C-alpha cells in the first residue's frame, strides 16, 4: 500500500498535465495537480482557444472581403463585440477543465509548488508527497531587456484589450507576431511589425512565408526588418520606439512577441538536482529528468519537437501509459503538425520541402497549385499551393501548404502519413463530396 499522498502529482494543470492526469485517475491511481493560476493553463485561457475566438472572426471578415461583390459584402470585425464573445466562451474554460479533472478523481491543489525532495512538493507551506512527480510548469513570455520594457504588452494583455488601439506595433516575426498582426488588421488597426533579423516564421517554408508577408503588406501591414529595438518611451498616451541608427516610430501600443521561455525558476530544481538549461528541463527518452521518479512534459521540456499543444497532449498521454505500467517503451513522437493561424494559413507536418530537396535519393516532391481548384474558387480564394513529399515507396511523409484552409488539409492527410497509407489504401476511401478533404486527397 502506497503511504504517499499521491501516486502521481503534476506541477501545473495545462495540457501537459490534465490530459494524462485523468486517464491515470480513471486507472485507479491517486493523482493530483498543483496550479497557481487558472486551471487548464495557457492554451485554453490565454493561448490557442482564446486566440482562435478572435482569429475566426478575423478570418470570416477576410472571407467576406474575398466574396464582396459575389453576393456578400465586406465587413470589418468589431473588436469590442468580438471581445465580449471571447470572454463569454473563454471564462468557462477553467470550470470545464476542473470538471474533466473531477471525472478522473484528480485532486486540484491551489498555490505555488516547489520541490523539496524527489517525493515532496511544498505548496504555500503545506507538504504533499508523491511516488512520481511530473513537472508541467509550461512557459511564459520572453521579457526584452530594454529601456522602457515596462511599456511592453504580452499576448495575454492583447487578448484582454477592451478596444483595439488605432496603431499597434508588434516586436517579433514568429507565430504570435504574424497571428496577432492578422487579428489586429481585421479589427481595423494600423499594424507595424518590427523584426530583429531578416527572417519571419523561421521554421516555415520560406517561399510560402514570402507570399504570406506580401499578402499582409498588401492589406496594409508594414514590416520593418533588420531592426533592433533599444528603447520605448512614453509620450503622453503614445509611445516612441527607438533603435539602432536613427530608427524611431510612434505608436499607441507595443506587443512584445519575441518568444516564450520555460518556467524553470523558483520550483526547486536546483535543490533536488533536476538538470535544466535555457530551453527547459532536460529529459531522457522516457521523459524522465536527471532525478529518478521526476518526469517533465509540455512546454517546460528542452526538446526537438515543436512546443505546441499537440505535443503537450501526446507527452501527457505517454506519461499516463508509462506511469501506470501500460508501456515500458521510450516515447516515439508522431508527426507533429503545426499551422500559423493567419490569412492565408501556412500549415505543415513531417519532412519539409527543404529537407526533401537536400535528399533526392530518399524523397520525391510534388508541387500542386490548389488555388485554381474549382472548390477553392467557390470562396474566391487568392492563395493556394502545397508541396507533398513522398518516400520512394510513394508513401506521403511530408506536407506544407499555404491556403485559407491549410490547417484542415494537413489534418486530413495526417493519418495517411502516420500509418503509411499508399495508393491502395486511398482507393478504399470514399470521401464526402464536395469537401476540402476530398480536394486534398485528390492530389495524393
Ligand atoms: C498566444 C498563444 C497562442 C498559442 N496558440 C497555439 C495554437 O494555436 N496551437 C498550439 O498547438 N499551441 C499554441 N500555443 C502554445 C500552447 O499554448 C502551449 O504549447 C501549451 O499550452 C503548453 O501546455 P503546458 O501544459 O506545457 O503548459 P501551460 O499550459 O503553460 O501550463 C503550465 C501551468 O503550470 C502552472 N504553473 C507554473 N509554475 C507553477 C508552480 N510552481 N506551481 C503551480 N503551478 C505552476 C501555470 O500557471 C500554468 O497554468 C499558443 C501559445 C500562446 C502563448
Ligand atoms: N499557431 C500556433 O501553434 C502558435 C501560435 C502562437 C504561439 N505558439 C507557441 O508559442 C510560442 C511563442 O510564440 P512567439 O511568436 O512569441 O515566438 P516565436 O519563437 O515563434 O517567435 C519569436 C520571434 O521573436 C524574435 N526574437 C527573439 N528574440 C528577440 C529579441 N531579443 N529581440 C527581437 N526579436 C526577437 C524571433 O526572431 C522571432 O521572430 C511559439 O514558439 C509556439 O510554440 C504557437
Per-residue pLDDT tens over the stretch 245-270: 899 999 999 999 999 999 999 999 99
Backbone angles phi, psi at 140, to 5 degrees: -135, 165
Q: How far is the CA of 301 from the centre of ligand 1 (A)?
A: 12
pLDDT of residue 1: 53
Over residues 147-185, the pLDDT tens digits come to: 999 999 999 999 999 999 999 999 999 999 999 999 999
Ligand 2, atom 16: nearest CA belongs to which residue? 259
Q: What is the DSSP string of 164-195?
A: --SEEEEE--SHHHHHHHHHHHHTT-EEEEE-
Q: Is the CB of 11 under 6 A from ligand 1?
A: yes
Query: DSSP label at 199?
Result: -
Q: What is the mean pLDDT of each run of 10 residues along the chain (444 residues)?
A: 90 98 98 98 98 97 96 95 97 98 98 98 97 98 97 98 97 98 97 96 98 97 97 95 94 98 98 98 98 98 97 98 98 98 97 98 95 91 94 94 96 94 84 87 77
Domains of the chain: 6-140+261-323 (3.50.50.60), 149-258 (3.50.50.60), 344-441 (3.30.390.30)
* 299 contacts 280 by C-beta, under 8 angstroms: yes
Q: Is the CB of 344 under 6 A from ligand 1?
A: no
Q: How far is the CA of 373 from the centre of ligand 2 (A)?
A: 33
Q: What are the residue ranges of helices labelled H in 68-205?
A: 79-90, 93-103, 155-158, 175-186
Ligand 1, atom 8: nearest CA belongs to which residue? 48
Q: What is the pairing mode between strands 126-135 and 120-123?
A: antiparallel
Q: Is 391 exposed, middle or buried (0-12, 13-18, 19+ CB in 10 A)?
A: middle
Q: How far is the CA of 193 from the centre of ligand 1 (A)?
A: 24
* 35 contacts 10 by C-beta, under 8 angstroms: no
pLDDT of residue 70: 97
Q: Is the CB of 37 under 6 A from ligand 1?
A: yes
Q: How far is the CA of 121 from the centre of ligand 2 (A)?
A: 32
Neighbour count for residue 106 (Cβ, 10 Å): 25
Cα distance between residue 259 and residue 48, in whole Å: 15
Q: Is the CB of 177 under 6 A from ligand 2?
A: yes
Cα distance between residue 441 and residue 435, in whole Å: 10
Amino acid at each position: 500500500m502506497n503511504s504517499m499522498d499521491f501516486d502521481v502529482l503534476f506541477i501545473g494543470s495545462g495540457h501537459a498535465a490534465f490530459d494524462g492526469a485523468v486517464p491515470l485517475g480513471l486507472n485507479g491511481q491517486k493523482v493530483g495537480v498543483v496550479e497557481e493560476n487558472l486551471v487548464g493553463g495557457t492554451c485554453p485561457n490565454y493561448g490557442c482557444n482564446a486566440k482562435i475566438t478572435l482569429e475566426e472572426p478575423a478570418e470570416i471578415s477576410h472571407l467576406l472581403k474575398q466574396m464582396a461583390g459575389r453576393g456578400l459584402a465586406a465587413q470589418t470585425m468589431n473588436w469590442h463585440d468580438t471581445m465580449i464573445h471571447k470572454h463569454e466562451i473563454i471564462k468557462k474554460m477553467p470550470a470545464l477543465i476542473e470538471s474533466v479533472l473531477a471525472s478522473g478523481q484528480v485532486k486540484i491543489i491551489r498555490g505555488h509548488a516547489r520541490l523539496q525532495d524527489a517525493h515532496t512538493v511544498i505548496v504555500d507551506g503545506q507538504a504533499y508527497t508523491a511516488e512520481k512527480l511530473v513537472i508541467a510548469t509550461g512557459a511564459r513570455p520572453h521579457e526584452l531587456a530594454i529601456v522602457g520594457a515596462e511599456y511592453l504588452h504580452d499576448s495575454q494583455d492583447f487578448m484582454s484589450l477592451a478596444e483595439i488601439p488605432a496603431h499597434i506595433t508588434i516586436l517579433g516575426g514568429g507565430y504570435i507576431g504574424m497571428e496577432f498582426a492578422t487579428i489586429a488588421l481585421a479589427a481595423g488597426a494600423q499594424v507595424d511589425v518590427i523584426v530583429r533579423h531578416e527572417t519571419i516564421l523561421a521554421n516555415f517554408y520560406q517561399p510560402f512565408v514570402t507570399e504570406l508577408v506580401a499578402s499582409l503588406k498588401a492589406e496594409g501591414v508594414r514590416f520593418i526588418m533588420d531592426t533592433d529595438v533599444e528603447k520605448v518611451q512614453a509620450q503622453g498616451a503614445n509611445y516612441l520606439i527607438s533603435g539602432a541608427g536613427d530608427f524611431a516610430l510612434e505608436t499607441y501600443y507595443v506587443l512584445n512577441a519575441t518568444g516564450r521561455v520555460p518556467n524553470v525558476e523558483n520550483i526547486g530544481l536546483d535543490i533536488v538536482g533536476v538538470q535544466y538549461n535555457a530551453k527547459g528541463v532536460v529529459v531522457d527518452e522516457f521523459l524522465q529528468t536527471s532525478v529518478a521518479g521526476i518526469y517533465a512534459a509540455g512546454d517546460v521540456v528542452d526538446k526537438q519537437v515543436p512546443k505546441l499543444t499537440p505535443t503537450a497532449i501526446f507527452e501527457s498521454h505517454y506519461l499516463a501509459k508509462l506511469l501506470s505500467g501500460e508501456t515500458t517503451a521510450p516515447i516515439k513522437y508522431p508527426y507533429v503538425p503545426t499551422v500559423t493561424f493567419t490569412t492565408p494559413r501556412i500549415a505543415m507536418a513531417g519532412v519539409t520541402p527543404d529537407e526533401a530537396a537536400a535528399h533526392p535519393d530518399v524523397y520525391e516532391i510534388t508541387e500542386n497549385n490548389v488555388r485554381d481548384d474549382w472548390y477553392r474558387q467557390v470562396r474566391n480564394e487568392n492563395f493556394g499551393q502545397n508541396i507533398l513529399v513522398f518516400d520512394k515507396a510513394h508513401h506521403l511523409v511530408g506536407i506544407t501548404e499555404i491556403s485559407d484552409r491549410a490547417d484542415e488539409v494537413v489534418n486530413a492527410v495526417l493519418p495517411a502519413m502516420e500509418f503509411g497509407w499508399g495508393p491502395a489504401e486511398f482507393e478504399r476511401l470514399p470521401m464526402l463530396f464536395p469537401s476540402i478533404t476530398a480536394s486534398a486527397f485528390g492530389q495524393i
